[in-house]
Amino acid sequence: MKRIEFDDSLVNLHCHSHYCGHGSGEVEEFVQAAIDAGMKILGESEHCPVPDGHYASTRMPLGDLDSYIEDSRDAARKHHDEITMLCGAECDWKECYKTYYEDTILGSKALDYALMSIHYVVDENGYDVLVVHNRDNNPKFLSQYTDRYIKGLESGLFLFGCHPDLFGMMYETWDDQAESCSRAIIDAAKALDMPLEINGLGMMRKIQKSEDTSKSEDHMYPIPQFWEMASASGIRTVVSSDSHHPEDVAGKGRKEAEKFASRFGITPVKVSIENGHPVLI
């Protein structure tokens, strides 16, 4: 049987409902919004809980995992003739969670796919620092972010790497280090044939006019210099909304991210479903 391939524009695999801890809306409302927008594949990807409760303030509680899966499966059954609904997770990479992601999230809990992100770095006292809340331009944090991001890609567990240039929130200057870290992430993605994401939520994170930054764009990320390099290297690319509310599934951020991709001559992947799992082509 010929496999059906959908344009990336008809697919969204990066969404967060109320389950993620800082989003809103029921899973059912996200599916409905995707159907209304004419999409063919929708994947929820809540911020994945971890067994030691780490990152609890910004994550789905572990105790909600089963009802999240149940809600997603219910919505998938209810709407199966209108859309393919998948249940996924966005996972913060840390070596110590590798077995859990592999054996529990993708194993016994049988989620359909997992995405990889780095939202945190660790300071000299061992405390987590949220990338989006730190504006120190700290070169050590940028190196750490880059190393972790590449290790996450290398784990082989994930469908694609989310917002690789999220570091633009904490390291605002495009300098030699920003360039070499970007180069390292892009080279790793290329060598592993791992797609990276142009993120619609970043398009909506506007820079305040009063802020003094060297950025040429009005948003924090995606970073144009990063995607210029990514485009030249020929890596595979996904565009997602990273929506945290149903109305954003196919909203302004997503559309701006699509325009951003075409500015750099980037044609996003096509997406197919094999044995219930998304495959990026």
**Residues in contact with Zn ion by the rule CB under 5 A:** 90, 242
Q: Are strands 128-130 and 6-7 parallel, antiparallel or unpaired?
A: unpaired
Residue pair 197/237 in contact (Cβ under 8 Å)? The answer is yes
Question: What backbone torsions phi and psi does residue 253 show, to the nearest 5 degrees?
Answer: -60, -45
Closest CB 199 distance from Zn ion, rounded Å: 8
Q: Is the link from the previous residue into 222 a cis peptide, with omega within 30 of 0? A: yes
Distance from the Cα of residue 101 to its chain's centroid = 16
- Report the distance separating Cα 23 and Cα 59, nearest Å: 10
CB closer to Zn ion out of 200 and 268: 200
- Pairing state of beta strands 41-47 and 84-92? parallel
Please report which helix (H) or strand (E) contains residue 198, including its range: strand 196-199
Alpha carbon distance 218, 262 (integer Å):
17
Nearer to Zn ion, 92 or 242 (CB): 242
Smallest gap, in angstroms, from Cβ of residue 210 to Zn ion? 26
Minimal distance in Å, beta carbon 234 to Zn ion?
A: 25
User: Among residues 174 and 240, whose Cβ is nearest to Zn ion?
Assistant: 240
Determine the residue with CB nearest Zn ion.
242
* DSSP 8-class letter at 223: -
CB 209 within 8 A of CB 173: no
Closer residue to Zn ion in complex, CB, 18/174: 18
Looking at the Cβ atoms of 174 and 204, the one nearer to Zn ion is 204
